[in-house]
Amino acid sequence: MNFARRFEDHGVLITGGARGIGEATARRLAAEGARVLIADVDADQAARTAESIPGAESIGCDVADRTAVETAVAYAVERFGTLDVLVNNAFSCSPDTPLLEDQPDDTWYRDLDICLTGAFRCARAAVPHLAASGRGAIVNIGSVNAEQSFGNHAYSAAKAGLASLTRTLAADLSPRGVRVNQINPGTIRTRAWAGREAGLEALSRVYPLGRVGEPEDIAAAAAFLASRDAAWVTGTTLRVDGGLLAVNTAFAQAVGED
């Protein structure tokens, strides 16, 4: 597929970029001319992914580590001469215990640290360079869990907090020319669903558009929000969820069966 070259001469940093949504976003932005730094806690997989994307580079980075984040940002600027786009995609999603009172503190803190505080760390380190570029954009990858209950208490709370952070950062950074937006995906076919294809098939029936999402669906939205096509868009949360939150499919089916 041929794409527009909206990111020619742009430097891009994507956290959690080794697989899934992050990898698809790296491929999409690179296809549009960007030079992309894939930052991931799995440094080996990040390197393998970067090797398969023209113009991409990789670095091991744990967004829970401020020094690692600052090192990744500095490396992107050194290699590309600019940093124009930050995509905060790294996440942690811990399973809930059957009883809330058995949920340990460490899993709660980890999900918030990676999903929410990690995005803040990356933004804090990147902002001076994003502002200097004159076309800086931050795209945060959230979740429909931020808006409706789908389980995973800590992850959901973190993604809701990320939506709030998106708005406050947008307000704070707009005078410096940096736009900040969020994408809330629904169910996406990633390696987290490996071996559970039957579950994905069942889930597809509750989506008004009749399927679960693909990483490329989110990558396309990220490319829009990061580009100058969205030059007058900041502080927004864009649902890319196949209509999940707009339509109560189960209710409609139940009424239809009545």
Active site residues: 155, 159
Separation of alpha carbons 109 and 132, rounded Å: 33
Helix (H) or strand (E) holding 157: helix 153-173
Q: Is the dihedral of CA 214, 225, 48, 64 positive or negative?
A: negative
Residue 75 burial (10 A CB sphere; 0-12, 13-18, 19+): middle
Separation of alpha carbons 141 and 46, rounded Å: 18
Tell me the two tokens of residue 84: 């124009």
Q: Is the dihedral of CA 99, 104, 107, 108 positive or negative?
A: positive
3-state secondary structure of 13: strand
